[in-house]
Structure 1
Amino acid sequence: MSECVIHPRADGPDEATLSRLDPLPTSALSDSMRRLPGAPGVLPLFSGCRLVGPALAVRTRPGDNLVVHKAVDLARPGEVLVIDAGGDTARAIVGDLLCRYAASRGLAGIVLDGAARDVVELHELGLPVFARAVSHLGPYKNGPGEIGGSVSIAGMTVRSGDVVVGDADGVIAVPAARADAIATAAEELLRAEAAAVDAIDRGTWDRSWIDASLTITRIDDEES
């Protein structure tokens, strides 16, 4: 028997906050969080992946998914399973059967610092899966692990209840306590970007900030 540590439940933001975050791209959210590290290298397993939902954090021994199975049993509909598998890519932690069961329980998706498999089947299933790699090798089922609490995904801290957002650019965790403020900042950023796009199309985009930010030294041809 292996130990499975289960932390107290952490509630995420309310539905109104989730609805605000739902359409926002990870790039805008990242910029609104002072471009702090997200989870580089953890990418969508197939095209069209998009997920938004509160995290249920899982820590498992690399190459082992026993506790991941238990986490799916405990997860609530709409949650995102965020799995710290130590970044090991030798053995797939999730595949068709586990993800199919997760989808049947209403999970919003899976984010995995490790490998997945059955890419074709998962694409057909449509459950968003973000992983570091693909491997045909299956996992062990020995444990131990933890459910709830916090994990590190490719250097990004994710606490259960944080809002996980994933799209074609990758995945980011929005701290639950700051979710509304970050959503507001991202919305403002998108409005500014829309104005910049309009200015580019009209040929009036102000580029003076570039020279204002640089001290330019020009080298004469004779000196070079």
Structure 2
Amino acid sequence: MRPVKSVIYKRIPRPDPALIERASQFGVADLHEGLGAVAGRMCLMTPKMQARQEGRRLIGPAITAWNYPGDNLAIHCALEVAQAGDVLVLTNGGGHQGALWGDVACGFAKKQGLAGAVVEGAARDIDAIRELDFPVWSTAISVEHPEKRGPAAVNVPLTVDGVIVEPGDIICADTDGVLVIPQALLRHAVEGAEKRAATEVGIRKRIAAGERPFDIFGFRTAVVEMGIEIKDSTWRDDR
């Protein structure tokens, strides 16, 4: 087995700011659907990744930090290279041992103008973080003491909550979840989200005019084609 190499890369590939601005007009659901069925699923973190404040959103390029289990030296290294608008993406493999994120780091990140933090592992000081009003998502909450010994790696490709995250990938998060958009797919995701949003405007108008979703989406035809029986009775009548 090769030993873990500790390394800090100070720079990341930067995405097009104009595309990020367009993407910021949409939530995770629209961008997820905009990516398509396959890429959308591959880029979506699991429901374990929970928002620690209600109603907060973020979007920005990823600064990645790999932490040894029980240790959070890498997050402090990441804070040294992150720029305003960046999103810290932190992992220790997902274990609860050694809180990766707390209010002190959170306060500094807010002062530096970072967009937020996505943590595969434990966050703590949740009440204080909520008072700071800094967007944080994590897979766990635990106060367990973290060491600061390393090893550590910053701005290297990681797997975070089942999703590959490369430095500079676009992180989108809201109450619905966390989505990782590779730079190569950002334009595709944005254009797909814009098309979906325009379609939904039309659907809402049709519903307001009296149409039913069952007909708008063609479900009535699908039910007939699948041979699903519709009975004007209760299930008790068939006992």
Equivalent position of 2:219 in the other structure: 210
* AA at the equivalent of 1:75: A
Q: For each residue in 1:40-98, what CA deviation from the matched residue of structure 2 results, as whole angstroms up to 9, or x when unmatched?
A: 11121111221111001111112210111111011111110111221112331110111
Matches within 5 A, 1:87-166: 87-166=94-173
Deviation at 1:212, TM superposition (A): 3.6
Equivalent position of 1:23 in the other structure: 25
Give the Cα separation in 2 of the matches to 1:171 and 1:25.
10
Q: Given the alignment, which residue of 7, 12, 15 partners 1:13?
A: 15
* 1:178 to 2:190 alignment: no
Give the Cα separation in 1 of the matches to 2:61 and 2:74.
19
Aligned residues of 2:32 and 2:189 also touching (Cα < 8 A): no
Give the Cα separation in 1 of the matches to 2:193 and 2:77.
35
Deviation at 1:206, TM superposition (A): 5.4
Secondary structure of 1:58's counterpart equals strand
Give the Cα separation in 2 of the matches to 1:202 and 1:219.
26
Segments of structure 1 that go 5 or more residues without pairing to the other structure are none
Equivalent position of 1:56 in the other structure: 63
Segments of structure 2 that go 5 or more residues without pairing to the other structure are none
Equivalent position of 2:34 in the other structure: 32
What TM-score comes out, normalization by structure 1 length?
Answer: 0.91
Q: For each residue in 1:159-196, what CA deviation from the matched residue of structure 2 results, as whole angstroms up to 9, or x when unmatched?
A: 11111011111110111122122101101101111221
Q: For each residue in 1:112-139, what CA deviation from the matched residue of structure 2 results, as whole angstroms up to 9, or x when unmatched?
A: 1111011111111111111011112221
Which structure dedicates a bigger proportion of its chain to strand? 1
What TM-score comes out, normalization by structure 2 length?
Answer: 0.85
Cα-Cα RMSD? 2.2
After TM superposition, which residue ranges in structure 1, 4 or more long, deviate above 2 angstroms?
Answer: 6-10, 205-208, 211-214, 217-224
Q: How many positions carry a matched residue from both structures?
A: 223
Deviation at 1:28, TM superposition (A): 0.7
